[in-house]
């Protein structure tokens, strides 16, 4: 990208600078012996054209909206419209969460994101003994379509996109959204939103599962196949690195394992006989944004570029939409501290800015009190206002890829891409040439657990040695009350939820429920797509637990057997 004579001039000038001004300045030393990112990736003092001398502008950078999408998936980016401001929300009953949704929409939020309670996430009903003490505590409780009808009361689902953060029981929630659209007269083709539905990530990091990995993968592919035919504007899977990073991975591991999961789903869909250019545009991704702003920007840019290349080279994707990596970003929950919680506003702002500078399509900013409890209304408003200030006041949204061309950013992007690709090749080697088989084998052998565990341990050791400063925790501490007033879920939540569930069971037609479950069981045994019978089942108010029990009876419960040693 640079003329050899110009590079030689830069080298000579750098040598003169190093022997002169720099050497004199270093007599007083620098504040640290080594400078590194949160992921412990060492960064240089200075970057020059020498660090990006091998780059080719057209093939490595290009222009926004064109391959390899390093500079962004769309030509105008935020000059056309800002990213979707999608705050994660959900607690208590459907009525309470509906009220929070309406509040966020009134405050200017442009997309909904639903948090579910643990019983719903694990596919069990609120009246199950295992649900006691958990109903509505960390998200909204959903047992039947009746809860969904209340959850979206007064909200036009054909005018707003909705994200559902749920995995083992994702197919049931997706079916409820489709059934709700049918009830409201909204064409399925107009439904917009995203289903997390990333089971590989669960087996790698988050550890929420019901049935084993292979049948879990089959259901994910069922949802993708159904979406292609029925809900072409709805993303049936959000391949998620967020939880991989929260578990302690480095930035490169997060990107590599996430992309590998995505390519594994691609391979399974191809084996199913689906056309890559029909389903690939429906794939979406979900990344974490941590404190090291330049590392995060480099991670996002490198992931876009690598994804475009692999989709074309490995899977013969032709459509631009099949090679265009689109992703949601959430600021790093792991970075939030209970000590001096207002400091978290600054952390979240830096992380959100990294997501914007890296070209995210939607963004959730964490609330400053999340290390203590469910976010309060004031904290939620500050989190949303953080995004709005970045969008409207900072100027960060006014230039497409404002970091593009920075010697440092381009060098870090190249290094990040190289590290990500090395992991992808290793995973493919584990699977004898198949990323999908490499993921399945890696889960069984504990490969991913070990990689993440080692990185997490390394980070914690650096914090304890003081090499990694956490303001308010191991430096700049104060005497403080770490038990401020926080949001509590009403203790009557479970009682109200159980009353509704009992009423729904009393009023529904048990014969219709039994027939729907029998049809689902037949489809599973016949290896047919399970989405149509699940949609039919939720329409007759079959419960989440009853549907998931059919899968568990067929495939058995998954128990982790790998060693993490």
Question: Which token pair is 192?
Answer: 């917009």
* pLDDT bracket for residue 28 (50, 70, 90): confident
Distance separating alpha carbons of residues 105 and 240, to the nearest angstrom: 25
Residues 229-243, mean pLDDT to the nearest whole number? 97
User: Rounded to a whole number, what is the largest CA-CA distance in the chain?
Assistant: 87
pLDDT band, very low/low/confident/very high, at 564 (cuts 50, 70, 90): very low
Listed range (48-57, 479-488, 499-508) with the worst mean pLDDT = 479-488
CA dihedral 334, 464, 257, 556 (to 10 degrees): -70
- The CA distance from 545 to 122, in Å, is 9
The pLDDT tens digits for 253-274 are 999 999 999 999 999 999 999 9
Q: Quickly list DSSP for 2-53.
A: --HHHHHHHHHHHHHHIIIIIHHHGGG--S-S--B-TT--B--S---GGGGT
Q: Mean pLDDT throughout 295-312?
A: 98
* Cβ atoms within 10 Å, residue 465: 9
Which tens digits make up the pLDDT trace of 424-469? 999 999 999 999 999 999 999 999 999 999 999 999 999 999 999 9
- Beta-bridge partner residues of 239: 285
Residue 517's pLDDT is 98
3-state secondary structure 389-458: HHHHCCCCCCCCCCCCCCHHHHHHHHHHHHHHHHHHHHHHHHCCCCHHHHHHHHHHHCHHHHHHHHHHHH
- Please write the tens of the pLDDT for every residue from 136-168: 888 999 999 999 999 999 998 998 899 999 999
pLDDT of residue 37: 97
Identify whether the C-beta of residue 86 lies closer than 8 Å to the C-beta of residue 110. Answer: yes
- Give the span between the Cα atoms of 261 and 254, in whole angstroms: 11
- Give the DSSP letter of residue 330: E
pLDDT band at 563 (very low <50, low <70, confident <90, very high): very low
How high is the pLDDT of residue 175?
98
Q: What is the mean pLDDT of the chain?
A: 94
390-398, Cβ contacts within 8 angstroms, sequence gap of 24 or more: 390/349, 390/352, 390/353, 390/356, 391/78, 391/82, 391/83, 391/85, 391/356, 394/353, 396/353, 396/356, 396/357, 397/77, 397/78, 397/79, 397/82, 397/356, 398/78, 398/79
521-556 pLDDT, tens digit per residue, is 999 999 999 999 999 999 999 999 999 999 999 999
Tokens representing 377? Answer: 């209304």
Report pLDDT for 373. Answer: 81
Helix (H, G, I), strand (E, B) or coil at 351: helix
Place of tokens 């009808």: 149
Would you state the pLDDT for residue 41? Answer: 95
Strand partners, 114: 89, 164
pLDDT confidence of 387, banded at 50, 70, 90?
very high
Distance of alpha carbon 287 from alpha carbon 560, whole angstroms: 25
Whose tokens are 């584990």? That residue is 430
> Using CA atoms, how far apart are residues 450 and 441, in angstroms rounded to an integer?
14
pLDDT for the residue 559:
67
Predicted pLDDT of residue 301: 98
Q: What is the pLDDT of residue 103?
A: 85
Q: Residues with Cβ < 8 Å from 3, sequence gap 6 or more?
A: none
Percent of the chain scored above 70 by pLDDT? 97
| Dist CA 244 CA 423 (whole Å) | 14
Q: Is the pLDDT of residue 182 over 50?
A: yes
Helix (H, G, I), strand (E, B) or coil at 287: strand
The two structure tokens encoding residue 130: 């295992």
Average pLDDT over residues 287-295: 98
Question: Token pair for residue 536?
Answer: 């039919």
The pLDDT assigned to 484 comes to 61
Give the whole-angstrom CA distance, residue 306 versus residue 60.
Answer: 10
- Tokens coding 3: 């003329």
Least confident of 126-135, 372-381, 405-414: 372-381
Residue 456 phi/psi, 5° resolution? Answer: -65, -45
**Token duo for residue 341:** 């919680």
Q: Tell me, what's the pLDDT at 514?
A: 98
Helix, strand, coil percentages, rounded to 5, for the chain? 55, 10, 40
Per-residue pLDDT at 317: 98
Can you give the pLDDT at residue 377? 83
pLDDT at 111: 82
**Tell me: the pLDDT tens digits for 91-101?**
788 998 899 88
């Amino acid at each position: 990208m640079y003329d050899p004579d110009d590079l030689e001039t830069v080298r000579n000038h750098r040598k003169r600078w190093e022997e002169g001004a720099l050497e004199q300045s270093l007599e007083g030393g620098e504040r640290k012996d080594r400078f590194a990112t949160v992921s412990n990736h060492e960064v240089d003092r200075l970057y020059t054209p020498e660090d990006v001398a091998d780059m080719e502008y057209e093939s490595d950078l290009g222009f926004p909206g064109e391959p390899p999408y390093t500079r962004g998936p769309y030509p105008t980016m935020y000059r056309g419209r800002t990213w979707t401001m999608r705050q994660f929300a959900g607690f208590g009953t459907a009525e309470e969460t509906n009220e929070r949704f309406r509040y966020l929409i009134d405050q200017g939020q442009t997309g909904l994101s639903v948090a579910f309670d643990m019983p719903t996430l694990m596919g069990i009903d609120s009246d199950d003994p295992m649900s006691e003490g958990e109903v509505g505590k960390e998200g909204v409780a959903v047992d039947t379509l009746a809860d969904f009808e209340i959850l979206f009361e007064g909200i036009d689902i054909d005018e707003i996109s909705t994200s559902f953060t749920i995995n083992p029981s994702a197919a049931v929630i997706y079916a409820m959204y489709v059934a709700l659209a049918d009830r409201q007269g909204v064409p399925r083709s107009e439904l917009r939103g995203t289903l997390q539905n990333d089971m590989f990530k669960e087996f790698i990091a988050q550890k929420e599962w019901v049935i084993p990995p292979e049948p879990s993968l089959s259901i994910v592919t069922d949802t993708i196949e159904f979406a292609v035919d029925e809900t072409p504007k709805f993303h049936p899977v959000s391949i998620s690195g967020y939880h991989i990073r929260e578990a302690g991975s480095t930035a490169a591991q997060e990107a590599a394992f996430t992309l590998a999961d995505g390519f594994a789903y691609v391979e399974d869909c191809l084996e199913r006989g689906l056309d890559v250019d029909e389903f690939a545009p429906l794939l979406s991704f979900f990344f974490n944004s941590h404190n090291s702003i330049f590392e995060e920007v480099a991670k996002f840019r490198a992931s876009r570029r690598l994804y475009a290349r692999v989709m074309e080279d490995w899977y013969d994707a032709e459509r631009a939409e099949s090679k265009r990596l689109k992703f949601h970003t959430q600021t790093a929950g792991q970075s939030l501290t209970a000590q001096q919680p207002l400091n978290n506003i600054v952390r979240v702002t830096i992380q959100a800015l990294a997501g914007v500078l890296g070209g995210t399509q939607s963004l959730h900013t964490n609330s400053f009190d999340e290390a203590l409890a469910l976010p309060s209304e004031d904290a939620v408003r500050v989190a949303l206002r953080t995004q709005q200030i970045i969008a409207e006041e900072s100027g960060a949204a006014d230039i497409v890829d404002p970091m593009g061309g920075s010697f440092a950013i381009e060098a870090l992007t190249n290094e990040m891409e190289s590290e990500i690709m090395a992991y992808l090749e290793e995973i493919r080697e584990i699977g004898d040439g198949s990323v999908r088989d490499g993921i399945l084998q890696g889960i069984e052998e504990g490969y991913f657990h070990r990689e993440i565990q080692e990185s997490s341990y390394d980070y914690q050791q650096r914090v304890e040695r003081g090499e990694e400063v956490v303001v308010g925790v191991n430096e700049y501490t104060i005497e403080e009350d770490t038990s401020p007033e926080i949001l509590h879920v009403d203790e009557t939540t479970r009682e109200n939820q159980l009353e509704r569930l009992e009423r729904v069971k009393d009023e529904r037609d048990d014969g219709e429920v039994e027939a729907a479950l029998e049809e689902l069981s037949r489809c599973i045994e016949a290896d047919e797509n399970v989405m149509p019978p699940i949609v039919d089942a939720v329409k007759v108010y079959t419960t989440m637990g009853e549907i998931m029990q059919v899968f568990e009876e067929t495939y058995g419960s998954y128990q982790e057997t790998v060693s993490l040693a």
